[in-house]
Amino acid sequence: MAGIPGLLFLLLLLLCAVGQVSPSGAHWKPTWPAYRLPVVLPQSTLHLGKPDFGAEAKLEVSSSCGPQCHKGTPLPTYEEAKQYLSYETLYANGSRTETQVGIYVLSGGSGGQESSRKARRKRQIYGYDSRFSIFGKDFLLNYPFSTSVKLSTGCTGTLVAERHVLTAAHCIHDGKTYVKGTQKLRVGFLKPKFKDGGRGANSSSSAIPEKMKFQWIRVKRTHVPKGWIKGNANDIGMDYDYALLELKKPHKRKFMKIGVSPPAKQLPGGRIHFSGYDNDRPGNLVYRFCDVKDETYDLLYQQCDAQPGASGSGVYVRMWKRQQQKWERKIIGIFSGHQWVDMNGSPQDFNVAVRITPLKYAQICYWIKGNYLDCREG
């Protein structure tokens, strides 16, 4: 395993997926690409002072850098990428650490993607509202909808491991300090609320579900990349609007694995899917899907109808897993939310998701697994 010189690092970022089946033939299936993945490992850890928890939770992110601006931005150098992927960890007792990382390769490069396309339009709801509220425990408690959880700060998260939740960084940190309530952060799981004192699926038939309620689990620690903290939601900060939460105990539900985001042209129908707890439909889980309209190396621009509260939702697609010969859904991005962008002096708005790139995959996977050898498949 070796470190990566600067020039080689650019090649690492630009190398495309290997083994991708070309979309031709009557029986072609949209297939998960195979990637050569980098390794992101901790190098040193520094103890920091206890933070303030005074920031207001902001469910919208502002930036003056739109798709064309991002496409014109140079890819980070090796040293810059190490800075951005270094991370801050907050523990339930209020202590925190900063961890510096190294980036390595085992045997070759990593996958990467390019960008394409244009187009966008109005607000968070684009014309006819195409969102679907998910009702009934038979849907809400079943995969994939059961992987969506609610954060006590008002956002959405997605179960990505036995005790880990992926969400947006701005849901817990505004780029300067932590959001109010983060020290006692909780994650809510929808459960049926029964009449007649019934308690779950094994109770008598007289126990009729009246409505759903949230059961809460405390968060043990959180990880936020320094790219978000250093960027403070500006040009580079948008690219690092993601965070991982570790729960104090396992949630015992089926979770959705993370995966490296393929180029939009390789997505089934060019579409993405996600479910979240939109604020305008309190207590409801809201599902939607839509076409990707534009993309950069780090971001997906789309017109999925969404409202504040859906921020942090896991953006997923379903593709064919060639090795296991089965269809599999994976999280390929994190819904950042509604972002106003100054386009040549004229404000326009987008709904934006942060892509899971090979480097971000390596980082998030290490946060979850704690062993880079378990993070070789994206």
Catalytic residue among 261, 275, 311, 336: 311
* C-alpha dihedral, 325 to 158 to 231 to 50, nearest 10°: -130
129 tagged catalytic: no
Q: Are β-strands 132-134 and 285-295 bridged in parallel, bridged antiparallel, or unpaired?
A: antiparallel
Those residues whose C-beta lies under 8 Å from the C-beta of residue 346, and which sit 6 or more positions away, are none
Local structure of 181: helix, strand or coil: coil
Local structure of 343: helix, strand or coil: strand
Eight-state DSSP code of residue 114: -
Q: Are β-strands 209-225 and 87-91 bridged in parallel, bridged antiparallel, or unpaired?
A: antiparallel
**Burial 39-72, CB ≥16 within 10 A → b, else e:** bbeeeeeeeeeebebebebbbebebebbbeebee
Catalytic residue among 86, 110, 164, 170: 170
**69 closest CA partner among 322, 365, 352:** 352
Catalytic residue among 95, 115, 235, 291: 235
Eight-state DSSP code of residue 363: H
Give the Cα separation of 136 and 6 in Å (integer): 53
Instruction: Write out the two tokens for 88.
Output: 């801050």
273 tagged catalytic: no
170 tagged catalytic: yes
Q: Are 246 and 297 in contact (CB under 8 A)?
A: no
Q: Are 4 and 105 in contact (CB under 8 A)?
A: yes
Residues annotated catalytic, as ranges? 170, 235, 311
